[in-house]
Amino acid sequence: MGVPGNCSSRVEDHVRAPGKLLTPGEVAEIFRVDPKTVTRWASSGRLPSLLTPGGHRRFWESDVLRLLKGMAPKGNPASVQNLP
């Protein structure tokens, strides 16, 4: 169940979901942004997140890769690695 007013859901609700969970720091490294930026993306709904029992955000790797792919400049997939 998600936190009221937040699009996040609890990890327990997705135990059977395949894939790897990433921390905000790991996501920030992928996009080369500050972890607080990743948290803002989650709060705005741009990047779905889960909350651990301790209240920490986690992100499905597949959601992160989907966002990364959506940010890639058209016609040049190699430039995805150079996103800020």
Q: Which domains does the chain have, with CATH numbers?
A: 12-71 (1.10.1660.10)
Structure tokens at 81: 């690695």
3 vs 52 pLDDT, higher one: 52
Asked if residue 48 lies in contact with residue 36, where contact means CB atoms within 8 angstroms, the answer is no
Average pLDDT, the chain: 79
Q: Tell me the HSE value of 26 on the side-chain side, using a 13 A CA sphere.
A: 11
Q: Please name the residues in contact with 52: beta carbons below 8 A apart, sequence gap of 6 or more.
A: 10, 11, 58
Residue 41: name the closest of 22, 16, 54 by CA: 22
What is the band of 20 on the pLDDT scale with cuts at 50, 70, 90?
very high
Q: What is the pLDDT of residues 27-63, one digit of tens each?
A: 999 999 999 999 999 999 999 999 999 999 999 999 9
The one-character DSSP state at 33 is S
What is the band of 2 on the pLDDT scale with cuts at 50, 70, 90?
very low
